[in-house]
Amino acid sequence: MKLYKYNPTTLQYVKVPYLYNIFKTVVLTFGASLLLGGITPLKTEYITDTESVILIQDQNEFTEEKLVDLIDKLNFKFPHIVLAQAKLETGRFESKIFKENNNLFGMKEARVRINLAKGTQHGHAYYDNWESSVYDYAFYQCRYLSALTTEAEYYRYLAGSYAEDIHYVSKVKNIANKLKDKF
């Protein structure tokens, strides 16, 4: 189909390019939709640097539900034990190490294995965000705990290599037994 448009200056009909017709149809359809209320117009807003930092922080805001989802997504061995460790290490997500270092597991900065720590602060590794701490623990688990197949082996490893508290494993077990239904 060929379309023509009348040019009053030359008193002639001029062939209208095909792309112009498509553009005109889209614009007319969009305009009609706006008038009828079918599509709301896009509103351009500009945000300040401070507002963008707030938006980023909101996206990375910690919740226990987000932690459970990430633990599940990363396919941790014994996820209920991992969640129990996070709860114990952070004092139910209230500790200074968690709040200031984004460190959910009381991890020290790794020297030998791959890690996401940005350095050491308050004697523990610190991370850009809490998710990095979870990924770092996943790296730890892959490196040191991948051959373990039972909860008993996992707890034995934790007792011998993870924490200084001699009651650490019994504390983790008490919490973990209540969390099995989360996974």
Residue in the block written with tokens 């008490």:
174
- Kindly state the DSSP code that residue 129 receives in the 8-state scheme: S
Burial 40-63 (b: 16+ CB within 10 A, else e): eeeeeeeeeeeeeeeeeeeeeebe
Structure tokens at 18: 């095909």
- Kindly state the DSSP code that residue 74 receives in the 8-state scheme: T
Q: Summarize pLDDT for 139-170 with one digit per residue, the tens.
A: 999 999 999 999 999 999 999 999 889 999 99
- Kindly state the DSSP code that residue 10 receives in the 8-state scheme: T
pTM of the model as a whole = 0.69
Residue 89 has phi, psi (to 5 degrees) of -65, -30
Structure tokens at 7: 């040019």
In the predicted structure, residue 109 carries a pLDDT above the cut 70:
yes
Distance CA 88, CA 138 (A): 17
CB under 8 Å to 113, separation ≥6 — which residues? 139, 140, 143, 144
Q: Summarize pLDDT for 6-26 with one digit per residue, the tens.
A: 777 777 777 766 655 566 666
Task: Give, in order, the Cα–Cα distances in Å from 96 to each of 71, 124, 125.
Answer: 22, 11, 12
Q: Summarize pLDDT for 26-51 with one digit per residue, the tens.
A: 656 666 565 665 555 556 577 676 66
Structure tokens at 58: 């909101």
pLDDT of 148 reads 96
pLDDT of 14 reads 73
pLDDT of 143 reads 95
